């Protein structure tokens, strides 16, 4: 990696930069610019490098925010006649089954911009009703009249035979200047609602992402920019412009990749990654490998694409505390964001946030935030917190601790979802925490869940950006089969995998990769006949036995006598990248006194303590100290309570464990 490359993660409050230049790592944080995220990116790169050229790996929240805020392209949907209401009907499930007043979010494409085309393909690809090309000119004229920016084409069973979608796409391209996406290119799998929802989501965010990425490419050079995907891999900028929906969780994915790699390097390959930023918290479980899933939701929208299995909750440093109608203290999911931000930032914020509560309790240092580049304001926080506490009938100190407890409870529930609810014991894992606020809350979560240790990586506040530099090129391919396993011809299955692998090698070859440099990993989605959903099983032996073992592990039940069905075949095509090596030094000794800057007052459980203020940049491998302590550095702050001690390992990670 003797070249200049930079990882960039755009967050709700800050945009994080990790520059690797001739093996040296430099970190930087720039306030995000939500109105135009590219502005913060260009500004940050210029502050670091001026106008010098640089390679960029970028993770973006633009697609996610576009979906959540419903500010995407003016889109239309073309589908099989009679299925125009597929987005409205969905799965006929209710988020709150007993709430009579619940309102379902409207579909991304309203009924007046949905068009049914007379055609029909069967589940095996047989043409039941041929597509009449005479109806296509009328379709194009209707789309022109509606002045749409993008069109999604999703026909019934097109995963088995895409010929009709190809014909419709050709007709629209010939008569309309719009972003067009077809379901057989985005998701060639069964389940009409999920396939249609994913295709429409790509059409909805496509023009926004294409414009945003084009803006970045114009400033930096499109050939120099690679984009992080939700599956933990990177793709060229041009590929991301076509399938923007694949970037919906790219920032969190970078964090999981980075957290797992750093944990594994330090000797802990069973980790729970905990990424607490300014707006939200992302958690993921890696039991020896990064966990992935083909099912995710953004708001109420199902997005059925391979993604790193991340669970997100609306709790972050900028989450706003409020009193609900019943008089109880609540925190989030509403956030102060980058502007105006927490009160202590001095940018006009006037509502108490989690960051403000941390500052009031001494869990932040007002003079050492961003290594002194920005001083946090304690006086306006004290005034606002006192007013809020009076409204609750509590002291300011109790209110601040209550805010942290409520936020911690939300994040604790998120970790329980990915661990205990899936059959994993948190006591078998190491909590790898990062994000600007993660190391301030990690000990409380570990204590409550019985997690034995916390690992705080070097420059933890920008780990997602570093993780992007550790990512490989990755593309996922799938195809629905829906065939019984018993009697399935092995040659047919081999041919199905071969078709996907041929497509992968073709696309990688167009990007300059030789076939021998591409590694393909095979897996199969399987289920018992009659089940509604399936399990993904890596192909590493006899399929029936593998499936029964996976089913037993996941659900505590298996039945070898019950017939099994092969639903989808999948391949994951990986082209390895050169990766930066993590700095490693020799152990020098336990004495950490040279890193102590002085005393600092902190509050824990209502008691005030004179804690050590420790400069992380002055700590060396082997150093040890006991809490209470506050470890300050540029990108984050680490809280070490009185019942924990901290040591520094060879890779400069902080390892926090209970005092026995």
Helices (H) and strands (E) in the chain, counts: 16, 34
Whether the CB-CB separation of 224 and 234 falls below 8 Å is answered with no
Count of alpha carbons within 13 Å of 310, Cβ hemisphere only?
Answer: 27
What pLDDT does 2 receive? 43
Q: What is the mean pLDDT of residues 478-483?
A: 94
Q: Taking the mean position of all CA atoms in its chain, how far away is CA 369?
A: 26
What pLDDT does 639 receive? 97
What pLDDT does 459 receive? 84
Kindly tell me if the per-residue pLDDT of 388 is higher than 80: yes
Nearest by Cα to 229 from 468, 455, 410, 430: 468
Cis omega before residue 340 (within 30°)?
yes
Look at residue 598 and give its three-state secondary structure: strand
Nearest by Cα to 356 from 418, 392, 403: 403
As to burial, measured by CB atoms within 10 angstroms (0-12 exposed, 13-18 middle, 19+ buried), residue 486 is: exposed
How far apart (Å, rounded) are the C-alpha atoms in residues 275 and 434? 5
Whether the CB-CB separation of 341 and 374 falls below 8 Å is answered with no
CATH for 473-575 is: 3.30.1490
What pLDDT does 295 receive? 82
Kindly tell me if the per-residue pLDDT of 442 is higher than 90: yes
Q: What is the mean pLDDT of residues 585-612?
A: 95
Kindly list the domain boundaries of the chain, sorted by start residue. 68-209, 473-575, 593-658
Span of 172-176, 331-335, 655-659 with lowest mean pLDDT: 331-335
What pLDDT does 23 receive? 67
Count of alpha carbons within 13 Å of 589, Cβ hemisphere only?
Answer: 5
Residue range 139-167, pLDDT digits in tens:
999 999 999 999 999 999 999 999 999 99
Q: What is the mean pLDDT of residues 562-576?
A: 95
571 confidence band (pLDDT: 50, 70, 90)? very high
Kindly tell me if the per-residue pLDDT of 9 is higher than 80: yes
Kindly tell me if the per-residue pLDDT of 1 is higher than 50: no
How far apart (Å, rounded) are the C-alpha atoms in residues 266 and 488? 44
The answer for residues whose C-beta is within 8 angstroms of residue 60's C-beta and 6 or more apart is: 10, 37, 209, 212, 227, 228, 247, 250, 251
> Rounded to 5 degrees, what angle do the CA atoms 581, 584, 585 make?
155
Q: What is the mean pLDDT of residues 56-71?
A: 86
CA distances, 608 to each of 494, 573, 641, 656 (Å): 67, 55, 11, 21
What pLDDT does 3 receive? 66
How far apart (Å, rounded) are the C-alpha atoms in residues 364 and 376? 9
Whether the CB-CB separation of 459 and 444 falls below 8 Å is answered with no
What pLDDT does 268 receive? 97
Residue range 520-540, pLDDT digits in tens:
999 999 999 999 889 999 998
What percentage of the chain exceeds 70 in pLDDT?
99
Count of alpha carbons within 13 Å of 87, Cβ hemisphere only?
Answer: 29
How far apart (Å, rounded) are the C-alpha atoms in residues 155 and 86? 11
How far apart (Å, rounded) are the C-alpha atoms in residues 616 and 241? 40
Whether the CB-CB separation of 77 and 114 falls below 8 Å is answered with yes
Kindly tell me if the per-residue pLDDT of 66 is higher than 50: yes
Kindly tell me if the per-residue pLDDT of 170 is higher than 50: yes
Give 518's strand partners.
Answer: 575
Provide the 8-state DSSP code for 364: S
As to burial, measured by CB atoms within 10 angstroms (0-12 exposed, 13-18 middle, 19+ buried), residue 584 is: exposed
Average pLDDT of the chain, as a whole number: 92
Kindly tell me if the per-residue pLDDT of 69 is higher than 90: no
Q: Taking the mean position of all CA atoms in its chain, how far away is CA 118?
A: 39
DSSP string covering 276-296: E-SS-EEEEEEESS--EES-E
Q: What is the mean pLDDT of residues 436-441?
A: 94
Per 3-state DSSP, the chain is made up of helix, strand and coil in percentages (nearest 5) of: 35, 30, 35
Phi-psi region of 288 (alpha: psi -120 to 50; beta: other; left: phi over 0): left
Kindly tell me if the per-residue pLDDT of 56 is higher than 70: yes
- CATH 3.40.1360 for domain 68-209: yes
Q: What is the mean pLDDT of residues 90-99?
A: 78
Instruction: Characterize the bridge pairing of strands 319-323 and 292-293.
Output: unpaired
Residue range 186-225, pLDDT digits in tens:
999 999 999 999 999 999 999 999 999 999 999 888 889 9
277 confidence band (pLDDT: 50, 70, 90)? confident
Residue range 450-463, pLDDT digits in tens:
999 999 998 888 88
Residue range 356-366, pLDDT digits in tens:
999 999 999 99
Span of 215-224, 263-272, 297-306, 532-541 with lowest mean pLDDT: 297-306
The answer for residues whose C-beta is within 8 angstroms of residue 361's C-beta and 6 or more apart is: 397, 400, 401, 404, 602, 603
């Amino acid at each position: 990696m003797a070249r200049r490359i930079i990882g960039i993660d755009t967050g709700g409050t800050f945009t994080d930069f990790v520059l690797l230049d001739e093996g040296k790592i430099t970190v930087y944080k720039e306030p995000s610019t939500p109105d135009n995220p590219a502005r913060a990116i260009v500004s940050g790169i210029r502050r670091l490098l001026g106008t010098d050229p640089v390679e960029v790996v970028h993770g973006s929240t633009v697609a996610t925010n576009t979906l959540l805020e419903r500010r995407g392209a003016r889109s239309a949907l073309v589908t099989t006649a009679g299925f125009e209401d597929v987005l409205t009907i969905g799965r006929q499930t209710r988020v709150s089954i007993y709430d009579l007043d619940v309102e379902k979010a409207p579909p991304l494409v309203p009924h007046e911009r949905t068009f049914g085309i007379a055609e029909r393909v069967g589940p095996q690809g047989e043409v039941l009703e041929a597509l009449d090309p005479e109806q296509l000119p009328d379709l194009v004229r209707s789309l022109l009249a509606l002045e749409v920016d993008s069109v999604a084409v999703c026909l019934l069973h097109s995963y088995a035979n895409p010929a009709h979608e190809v014909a419709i796409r050709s007709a629209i391209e010939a008569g309309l200047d719009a972003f067009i996406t077809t379901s057989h290119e985005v998701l060639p799998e069964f389940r009409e609602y999920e396939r249609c929802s994913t295709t429409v989501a790509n059409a909805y965010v496509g023009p926004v992402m294409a414009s945003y990425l084009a803006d970045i490419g114009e400033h930096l050079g499109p050939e120099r920019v690679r984009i992080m995907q939700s599956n933990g891999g990177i793709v060229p900028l041009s590929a991301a412009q076509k399938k923007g929906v694949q970037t919906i969780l790219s920032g969190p994915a970078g964090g999981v990749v980075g957290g797992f790699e750093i944990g594994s390097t330090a000797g802990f390959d069973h980790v729970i990654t905990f990424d607490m930023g300014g707006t939200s918290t992302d958690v993921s479980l890696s039991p020896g490998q990064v966990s992935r899933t083909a099912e995710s939701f953004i708001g109420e929208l199902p997005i059925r694409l391979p993604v790193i299995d991340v669970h997100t909750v609306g709790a972050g440093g900028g989450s706003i505390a409020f009193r609900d109608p019943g008089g109880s203290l609540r925190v989030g999911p509403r956030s102060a964001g980058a502007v105006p931000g927490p009160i202590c930032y001095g940018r006009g914020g006037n509502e108490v946030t989690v960051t403000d509560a941390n500052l009031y309790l001494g869990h932040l240092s007002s003079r050492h935030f961003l290594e002194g580049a920005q001083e946090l304001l304690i006086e306006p926080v004290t005034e606002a917190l006192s007013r809020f506490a009076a409204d609750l009938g509590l002291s300011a100190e109790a209110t601040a601790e209550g805010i942290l407890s409520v936020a911690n409870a939300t994040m604790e529930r998120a970790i329980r979802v990915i661990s205990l609810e899936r059959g994993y014991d948190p006591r078998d894992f190491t909590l790898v925490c990062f994000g600007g606020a993660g190391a301030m809350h990690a000990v409380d979560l570990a204590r409550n869940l019985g997690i034995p240790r916390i690992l705080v990586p070097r420059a933890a506040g920008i780990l997602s950006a570093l993780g992007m530099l550790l990512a490989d090129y990755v593309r996922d391919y799938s195809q629905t089969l829906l065939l019984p396993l018993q009697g399935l011809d092995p040659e047919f299955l081999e041919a199905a995998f071969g078709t996907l692998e041929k497509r992968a090698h073709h696309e990688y070859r167009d990007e300059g990769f030789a076939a021998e440099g591409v590694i393909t990993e095979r897996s199969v989605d399987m289920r018992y006949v009659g089940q509604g959903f399936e399990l993904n099983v890596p192909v590493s032996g006899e399929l029936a036995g593998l499936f029964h073992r996976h089913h037993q592990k996941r659900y505590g039940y298996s039945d070898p006598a019950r017939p099994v069905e092969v639903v989808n075949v999948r391949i994951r095509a990986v082209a390895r990248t050169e990766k930066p090596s993590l700095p490693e030094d020799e152990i020098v000794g336990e004495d950490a006194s040279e890193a102590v800057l002085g005393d600092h007052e902190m509050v824990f459980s209502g008691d005030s303590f004179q804690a050590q203020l420790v400069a992380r940049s002055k700590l060396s491998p082997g150093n040890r100290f006991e809490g209470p302590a506050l470890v300050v550095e540029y990108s984050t702050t680490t809280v070490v309570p009185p019942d924990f001690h901290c040591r520094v390992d060879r890779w400069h990670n902080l390892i926090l464990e209970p005092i026995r």
